Amino acid sequence: MHFGNWELGIGNWELGIGNWELGIGNWELGIGNWELGIVVRSQAGNL
């Protein structure tokens, strides 16, 4: 489980969690996609 990393890196997501919160339901089920979604985190950082 790589969830440990997300806990530490969730700080960034908290700031951009506005959209993710509503869509978090999908991420929970698709948590396997977080690895691919990590790239989105970099792009979200620019926003």
For 32-47, how does the pLDDT look when each residue is reduced to its tens digit (9 = 90+)? 455 545 555 555 555 5
> Is residue 22's pLDDT more than 50?
no
> Is residue 18's pLDDT more than 50?
no
Give dist(CA 22, CA 5) in Å, integer: 22
Q: What is the amino acid identity at position 30?
A: G
pLDDT confidence of residue 44: 58
- Domain region containing 30: 3-46
| Distance in angstroms between the alpha carbons of the first and the last residue of the chain | 28
Percent of the chain with pLDDT over 70: 0
For the beta carbon of residue 45, count every other beta carbon within 10 angstroms: 10
The count of structural domains within the chain is 1
> Is residue 1's pLDDT more than 50?
no
Q: What does the block give as tokens for 26? A: 């999908």
For the beta carbon of residue 13, count every other beta carbon within 10 angstroms: 15
Q: Which of 15, 12, 46 is nearest to 34 (CA)?
A: 12
